[in-house]
Structure 1
């Protein structure tokens, strides 16, 4: 199985994605907890059906010590007792931020307030950028039909 496009082989793709990937690495350096970042990245990727990102973020989270129980329950986080209130708020914001077309106005004031209760302005900024970043990465991979399964944890860094 091959991807439709090799973005990095294109002068335009290579130039743009170099900066895009640098933005992704910069997000890792923020004060938003690493576990929250991986859970959010995984949930956004599940919603968008991006197999390569699901592969990547599941493996990165596991390598960082995340449990298989929590990783397996991300898709059903509302019914799971294994997530903190802060993580639940981040996952809810990520879902609404990904499904902006499903609700008039995008992220509701209630969802925003729950996230703001647990994260400071810097962390909220990182969370919003992460959701937007993941949606972009997912779309790039889904459109190109990037195959999944071969990712090795630590490869992105």
Structure 2
């Protein structure tokens, strides 16, 4: 499989990605656990069918100590017993924010209020930013038909 555009050598997309990467670092600095962010990014990528991001975030999660059980069950987190209530709230917010067109009015007040039980305002802002960011990455990769499978964990820092 060959990509339609090279995301990293195209000058326009290169500038866009530079800013997207800088935005992603903001979420890490707000106090949301790295494990939660990886699960959020993995789940959104599964929903969006982005093989590049599923590959990357599954491998990054494992690289940072996440168990295979938790990585493998994230698609079925509602039925799995291996996630904390805070992680469940983040995953619920991820699904609602990723499937925003599926629900009249977008993210429901119930989903938002549940997340406020576990995350302060800055952490919620970071989660919103991370969810928006991974959805952007998913769309970039899917639209340009980026091939997946050869990501090496830890290569981005």
Q: Give the structure-2-normalised TM-score.
A: 0.96
Q: Secondary structure of the equivalent of 2:83?
A: coil
1:60 and 1:79 mapped to 2: Cα distance?
Answer: 23
Structure that is richer in helix per residue: 1
> Where do residues 134-149 of structure 1 align in structure 2 (5 Å cutoff)?
134-149=134-149
Q: Deviations over 1:32-72 (max 9, x none)?
A: 11110000000000000000000000010001110000111
Q: What residue is the counterpart of 2:95 in the other structure?
A: 95
CA RMSD in angstroms comes to 0.9
Larger deviation: 24-33 or 57-66?
24-33
Instruction: List alignment gaps of at least 5 residues for structure 2.
Output: none
Q: What residue is the counterpart of 2:37 in the other structure?
A: 37
Q: What residue is the counterpart of 2:58 in the other structure?
A: 58
Superposition deviation, residue 154 in structure 1? 1.1
Superposition deviation, residue 7 in structure 1? 2.4
1:5 and 1:150 mapped to 2: Cα distance?
Answer: 18
Query: Does the CA contact (< 8 Å) of 2:24 and 2:129 recur in 1?
Result: no
Larger deviation: 5-14 or 125-134?
5-14
Instruction: List alignment gaps of at least 5 residues for structure 1.
Output: none
1:28 and 1:56 mapped to 2: Cα distance?
Answer: 17
1:10 and 1:83 mapped to 2: Cα distance?
Answer: 39
Query: Does the CA contact (< 8 Å) of 2:26 and 2:126 recur in 1?
Result: no
Q: What residue is the counterpart of 1:109 in the other structure?
A: 109
